[in-house]
Chain A
Amino acid sequence: MLILSRKTEEKVVIAGNIEITVVEIRGDTVKLGINAPKDVKIYRSELVDAIREAAQASPSDLEKLSKKLKGEGK
Chain B
Amino acid sequence: MGKTEKSIKFNSTRFGEVEIPERNIIHAPGGIIGFAGIERYALLDPSGGESLFLWLQAVDEPDLAFIVTDPMMFVPEYAIDATEPDIEKLGIGEKKPPALFVMVTVPAGNPDNITANLLAPLLYFEEDNVIHQIVLEKTEWGLKHPLVAKPDESGGVE
A interface majority secondary structure: helix
Establish whether residues B111 and A64, one from each chain, have CB atoms under 8 Å apart when the complex forms: yes
Given contacts A55-B65, A66-B47, contact A47 B52 (CB under 8 A): no
Give the B interface residue count (CB, 8 A). 37
> How big is the A interface, by class?
20 to 34
Bound: A48/B33 CA distance, A = 6
B33 touches A47 (CB 8 A): yes
Q: Mark B122-157, 1 if CB is under 8 A from A, else 0.
A: 000000000000010000000110001000000000
Answer whether residue A17 sits at the interface, using C-beta atoms and an 8 A cutoff: no
B106 CB within 8 Å of chain A = yes
B120 nearest CB across to chain A (Å) = 6
Interface residues in chain B, defined as those with a beta carbon under 8 Å from any beta carbon in chain A: 14-15, 30, 32-36, 46-47, 50-53, 55, 64-67, 103-112, 114, 117, 119-120, 135, 143-144, 148
Q: What is the interface of chain A, defined by CB distance below 8 A to chain B?
A: 41, 43, 46-48, 50-59, 61-62, 64-66, 68-69
